[in-house]
Every structure is written in structure tokens, then in C-alpha cells.
Amino acid sequence: MLVTTKEMFKKAYEGNYAVGAFNVNNMEIVQGITEAAQELKAPVILQVSAGARKYANHTYLMKLIEAAVVETDIPIALHLDHGADFDICKSCIDGGFTSVMIDGSHHSFNDNIELTKKVVEYAHAKGVTVEGELGRLAGVEDDVNVSAEDASYTRPEEVEEFVSKTGVDSLAIAIGTSHGAFKFKPGQKPQLRFDILERITERLPGFPIVLHGASSVPQNFLEEINKYGGDMPGAIGIPEEMLRTAAKSAVCKINIDSDIRMGMTAAIRKYLAQNPSHFDPRQYLLPARQAVKDMVAHKINNVLGCNGKA
Ligand code: G3H
Ligand code: 13P
Ligand code: ZN
């Protein structure tokens, strides 16, 4: 069933686990994610970026997700990822999403509050939950590119004011994760600032925290991509051990996109290299969809801990 994140996060907080938020762009991705979640009886968040809407079109994505809701009996939240302004949030709220993110992290503190509050007022009147963001992650997305120098950790002393003045339902924070497959420089030791997370949690007891940029860039995907003609030297993600620790804390939502991209690309590269005469897209999209399903199942079981929580 299609749900907001409200109840999901309450249960995740109290149960010391996190819900996976996976980015969707096409049918195979929606199927891979929801088949894994269904088999493991896990709640799941399907999130759609502005880039996904540009690529696949809002209506196609809505219909794919409606199909997943019909085919499963787990709680599914449909969430806008990185809404940049009021208009895109409004369009998704009016268009059937149950949750939106307003990403005002590129604005000043006061402008972020003003923008987020406006989205919250509109969303809550329609029963939709809202995620805000404080602090800035490094990394590259379709519509945003933040260099490591412009990235900054969330300031714990700002979180109470932000949450109370905006009325957001969850807060994305920056503690060292980043978007994309190149999260740390070669030779740099992956590190997350759990001390900052702790200081934020002390100030916001019981409040759901969100981690973006949480792909772990599995070695097997990387090896296959590089083995079959790809070239991703130096790709490095967040160690799963750190994500496991985060999932047991106030972090209730963990965002994963790059691992889906890499899993699909690895499977397709391998298939086409081994079957150079095949040209039916169903032949190479089948292992790609399976790679998404296996990866999501692995995260649910071994990282998020949300198996059996549906
Ligand atoms: O955090 C961003 C997501 O990975 C979405 O990326 O903007 O390329 O669709 P995108
Ligand atoms: P990754 O690039 O680490 O998968 O992060 C995805 C994300 O944060 C989507 O909002
Ligand atoms: Zn993100």
C-alpha cells in the first residue's frame, strides 16, 4: 500500500533499523527493488529525482509505482528526491507523491527555513510528509554539483531551530557521506562524523534523521565494470559497517542510487561481453533487474535491518 513516511519512521526509530530509499528511473529498477522488499517483507521508499522525472516522465513513473503497489502488500512511500523549489514539490504533491524533500541546503539558513516552511504548510494540508536538509553533501547529481570545498557538515546548534520553525517530518544531514561513486579521494580513509550525528540526536530526541549519499560501491560491481570494458578507477563508497551503525541510530532513511546504477551497468556489460551477438533488450535487462533485486535484498538484510518490518 502507498503510505507516507510518518509511521515508517516512527517504527524504524523505535526498532533501531532504517528504511532504504532507492532511486527509480524505469520499470526494471522499480521491479527489482519492490520484488526484493516484498520477498523480505520490508517497508521501502521509492524516490524520484528531477532528473528521473525528466527522463521517464511523471505519469510513467506514477503508473509504474501504482503497479508495484498492486503487486505487493508492503508499505511503499513515493518520495521526491532533492526538490529544488516550491513548484516541483507542489507538482509532486498534487501528482500523488506521499512524501517530498525540499532541499534548501544551498540557501542561507534563514532562506532555507522560509522555503522549507512554505513546502511543509502546503504538504501537510494534503497529508504529505516533508524532508528538509541542513548542511551540504559533496558530489554530483544531474541538477546539482557540489565540490568538496563547498560541502559542509551540519551544524548541530542549528537543528532545533530549523525543525521547530519549519515543521519538517525528517531531516537530512551531512556527516561525511556524498553523492556518486567517488566519495573519497584515493588513499583517503572513509570516515563518517558519528560525533556530529550524536550531537544532533541529543538535540532532537525521537526525530528521524536521513542519510543521503550512502552507496557503498560494492567491489564486485566495480570489478565487473572494469573487467568488461568499463573504466571507474578509484571509485569508493561508504563502508557497510558504518551504514549498519547508522541504521541502528536515529537514522531512519538511507538513500541509495549509485549502487543501483553500478549493479545494472555491471550486469549489462558482462552480459553483452559474453553474448556479443544478442540484441534483444530483454536479454540484458533481465540480469540487470536481477542485480538490482540482489543488491536491494543484501542492503535490507545486512545493512538496513528492515527485513520482516513491513
Ligand atoms: O542524489 C541524487 C540521486 O542520486 C539522483 O540523481 O539527479 O542524477 O537523478 P539524479
Ligand atoms: P548515492 O549516490 O550514494 O547512491 O546517494 C543517493 C542519494 O543520496 C539520493 O538522494
Ligand atoms: Zn541525495
* Contact indicator for 21, 253 with CB cutoff of 8 Å: yes
User: Phi, psi at residue 68, to the nearest 5°?
Assistant: -65, -35
51 lines ligand 1 (CB under 6 A): yes
Q: Please, what is the average pLDDT of the chain?
A: 96
pLDDT digits 0-9 by tens, 6-38:
999 999 999 999 999 999 999 999 999 999 999
The model's pLDDT over 236-247, given as tens digits with 9 standing for 90+, comes to 999 999 999 999
Residue-level length of the chain = 310
* Residue 183 β-bridge partners: none
What local confidence, expressed as pLDDT, does residue 137 receive? 85
Ligand 2 atom closest to residue 178's alpha carbon, by position in its atom list: 3
Q: Whose CA is nearest to atom 9 of ligand 1?
A: 51
CA of 101 to the centre of ligand 3 (A): 10
Q: Which numbered atom of ligand 1 lies nearest the CA of 258?
A: 4
Pocket test for ligand 2, best of 53, 137, 212, 259 (most atoms within 8 A of CB): 212
Please give the torsion angle defined by the CA atoms of residues 134, 135, 139 and 145, in that order, rounded to the nearest 10 degrees.
80
49 lines ligand 1 (CB under 6 A): yes
**Burial 234-251, CB ≥16 within 10 A → b, else e:** ebbbbebebbeebbebbb
- Asked whether the predicted pLDDT for residue 83 surpasses 80, the reply is yes
CA of 68 to the centre of ligand 3 (A): 23
Cα angle value 54/56/62 (rounded, 5°):
110
Q: What is the pLDDT of residues 247-299, one digit of tens each?
A: 999 999 999 999 999 999 999 999 999 999 999 999 999 999 999 999 999 99
Residue appearing with cell numbers 539558513: 109
Query: Residue 122 above 90 pLDDT?
Result: yes
